[in-house]
Amino acid sequence: MRVYNFSAGPAVLPEEVLKKAASEMFEHGDSGQSVMEMSHRSKEYEAIHNECEALMREILAIPDNYKVLFLQGGANMQFDMIPLNLLKTGKADFVVTGQWAGKAQSEAKRYGEANIVASSKDKTFSYIPELDSSKFDPNADYFHICFNNTIFGTRFPELPETGSVPLVADMSSYILSEPVNVSDFGLIYACAQKNVAPAGVTIVIIREDLIRDLSDSKVPTMLQYKTYADSNSLYNTPPTYSIYMCKLVLEWVKSKGGLSAMKEHNEKKAAVLYDYLDTSKLFRSTVEKRFRSQMNVPFVTGNEEIDKKFIKEAKAAGFVNLAGHRSVGGMRASIYNAMPIEGVEKLVAFMAEFEKNN
Amino acid sequence: MRVYNFSAGPAVLPEEVLKKAASEMFEHGDSGQSVMEMSHRSKEYEAIHNECEALMREILAIPDNYKVLFLQGGANMQFDMIPLNLLKTGKADFVVTGQWAGKAQSEAKRYGEANIVASSKDKTFSYIPELDSSKFDPNADYFHICFNNTIFGTRFPELPETGSVPLVADMSSYILSEPVNVSDFGLIYACAQKNVAPAGVTIVIIREDLIRDLSDSKVPTMLQYKTYADSNSLYNTPPTYSIYMCKLVLEWVKSKGGLSAMKEHNEKKAAVLYDYLDTSKLFRSTVEKRFRSQMNVPFVTGNEEIDKKFIKEAKAAGFVNLAGHRSVGGMRASIYNAMPIEGVEKLVAFMAEFEKNN
């Protein structure tokens, strides 16, 4: 029997997508092959690859002057690729709102000046700090934020005004959850394993003028955006099966009504959980209301023993991966696109029952 | 109906493996989840991950002083990681026996002196050059070869004697095809999509003393072997599903009798094809006998029009991906572990029939 999986990533996938993938595993269409076995230079695979990109462009309404790249290495690899490709003056601005935002900043320090314009570390990243734009460097090569903080369950209530400095956003746990105005950004990146596909592919959406020729530099060919932009992400063998899964997920998003429908679905789910947390006498949200993520909902009882007991009993009842990130403890329910509202409703019913008994 | 897929990679996978993956797609064991949905920090996934490594160690008889790493980015990423991690004197030796060996050398030039000790470019890489060890640099940080050349269908008849200089080998299209003495090498690497798994995971087997602490360098964290060696390849989310598929393939290899059985199976298949090529009046092998690969068999008719006609008619008859690499033309049959002997026998029968009619 399928469980309700609240993992922060790799995370739950739509059941329809898994069933379709299973049914096509042995033979895809009339190709006589599994997608896994297709040459990445074959017509069969290129159709999947190009359809995946086309769907991504359609669903996210990506303007023509942006490239969509399929990479590997997750968000962590982007912590290197972004400074290696974007630094020219050697300076960039960062808002540190959690562990990943912090890693993006600390990794960028290898290559230049990584200025922290604001941080919410003082309160365990439970809020998004006020931004004082007089602290922004107008000559920075980019301004980096992590739009939704998977571990701490916060998200930016609005975007920073960075003027002509390109805004770069880690959208790993946010992308595809609601409409976004791509033109507000110079570069958007997201690992797949939250809302997009299984782990193994990383999406980069980059404004074309930010793609530089670094062929004579010491930047590894595989870490140059131009390598992928010039080759339709087929410079070498891409993670073909992950891209196929991404296509299936995008088809599912489209069939459900696209990103406005996803937004409605996700707001409804999040409301069910936050409404309960705000009335519960046992559980509480750890995040200030206006900064709350719709995707990742951390909560605590304030008592570690009870937290542990809850996680254990929840697991036995079929609600899995509810432990908070190992760096913070407590609980966290990640409720990405593929989590059905029934999953959240049943979790809340289980929490209420647990509350009664504890 | 399944075709016979002679793709050089991504390539044919064992049918038993595809069927097992399909049957477990929706729910793996009693986990209630697809492997794709499992948190990489969960007990369920860690069991898969560790079993995959254990099988790799067992099947390849990997000594204890070697680490097995699961990376991303394919062999191309290794063309950067190897020099970035191994160069200390700044010098390395290369034998250029094809396109990939050449890329490993040209990419290493970004970071140091990449000395070509021998090349077979003069005859379109149709042989492995004699090596004059007096040309080897005894102070080189490593000595690089591509053991089996996927595009040109050659392989080293014996290993170069590099003394205390670590031998580094690209084994992408050779690994798991027969037993190998891992101790002969400092580092072995292989992309998965030939003999190991679908595209998306890269295997590195590295002698522990070659793993350096580069935390204070400009080498990206994600390109440091130590990052993976210290974390059991779980520094960030690995390509979990590709690693699961790798485990299934390794289980299949073991069930068939391991690498000595693979060697026998592969020699038999290759003999069927080479024996026919050596007697055919229409088709001929492009490679000198003693350098012939057991995995990739290029052949030509000497007439481009007939080559094209053959590829087209073969495809219609269910033998696909027989076109040679776009850089060389002609034909190529890649006959990795998962290609059954029937596939090669039927191909040869088809070729003989085609020869009669043309």
Residue A326 scores a pLDDT above 80: no
Contacts of B78 in chain A (CB under 8 A): none
Beta carbons of B74 and A32 less than 8 Å apart: no
The residue annotated as part of the active site, out of A80, A93, A141, A170, is A170
Contact at CB, A237 and B9, closer than 8 angstroms? yes
How high is the pLDDT of residue B327?
75
**B33 to A235: CB separation less than 8 angstroms, yes or no:** no
Enter the DSSP assignment of B291. G
Nearest alpha-carbon partner for B66 in B195, B184, B177, B155: B184
The interface predicted TM-score (ipTM) is 0.97
With the CA atoms of B283, B287, B290 and B294 taken in that order, what torsion angle do they form, in degrees rounded to the nearest 10?
-80
| % pLDDT > 90, chain B | 98
Residue A328: the pLDDT is: 80
Q: Is the pLDDT of residue B186 over 80?
A: yes
Cα–Cα distance, A3 to A189 (Å, whole number): 30
Q: Which of A26, A36, A111 sits opposite B218 (nearest CB)?
A: A111
How far apart are alpha carbons B70 and B60 in whole angstroms? Answer: 15
Say whether B312 sits in a helix, a strand or coil: helix
Residue A291: closest CA among A116, A111, A57, A129 = A129
Taking 80 as the threshold, does the pLDDT of residue A324 lie above it?
yes
Q: What is the pLDDT of residue A327?
A: 75
Strands A187-191 and A167-170: parallel
CA dihedral in degrees (B111, B116, B117, B121; nearest 10)?
Answer: 150
Enumerate the β-bridge partners of residue B334.
B296
Nearest by CB to A10, from B39, B72, B79: name it: B39
- How far A14 CA sits from the closest chain B CA (Å)? 10
The Cα angle at residue B77 between residues A239 and B96, in degrees rounded to 5:
120
pLDDT tens readout for residues A293-320: 999 999 999 999 999 999 999 999 999 9
Amino acid at A341: I
- State yes or no: pLDDT of B326 exceeds 80: no
Torsions phi, psi for B115 (to 5 deg) = -85, 130
Q: What is the pTM of this model?
A: 0.98
Whether B222 sits inside 8 A of A76 (CB atoms) is yes
Cα separation, A298 vs B44, in Å, equals: 23
Which residues are CB-neighbours of A170 under 8 A, at least 6 positions away? A75, A78, A100, A101, A104, A144, A145, A146, A147, A189, A190
State the DSSP string of B113-142: EEEEEEE-GGGTT-SPPP--GGGS-TT-SE
- Name the nearest CA neighbour of A40 among B137, B201, B11: B11
Could you tell me the end-to-end alpha-carbon distance of chain B, in angstroms, rounded to an integer? 28
Residue of chain A whose Cα is closest to the Cα of B71: A73
Q: Which of B67, B194, B247, B269 is catalytic?
A: B194
Kindly report, residue by residue over B20-64, the tens digit of the pLDDT.
999 999 999 999 999 999 999 999 999 999 999 999 999 999 999
Question: Closest approach of chain B CAs to the CA of A38, in angstroms?
Answer: 6
Q: pLDDT tier at A329 (50, 70, 90 boundaries)?
A: confident
Would you place residue B235 in the very low, low, confident or very high pLDDT band (cuts 50, 70, 90)?
Answer: very high
DSSP run (H or E) holding B66: strand B66-71
Q: State how far residue A109 is from chain B, nearest Cα, in angstroms.
A: 9
Residue A336 has pLDDT above 90, yes or no: yes
pLDDT, tens only, A33-61: 999 999 999 999 999 999 999 999 999 99
The tokens 């993976």 sit on which residue?
A: B228
Contact B223 A221 (CB under 8 A): no
Residue with tokens 């592919």: A201
Find chain A residues with C-beta within 8 A of B28's C-beta. Answer: none
**Average confidence (pLDDT) over A159-187:** 98
The whole-angstrom separation of Cα B295 and Cα B182 is 20
In this complex, which of B5, B23, B236 lies closest to A74 when CB atoms are compared?
B236
Query: Is B3's CB within 8 Å of A107's CB?
Result: no
What average pLDDT does this structure show over A191-220?
97
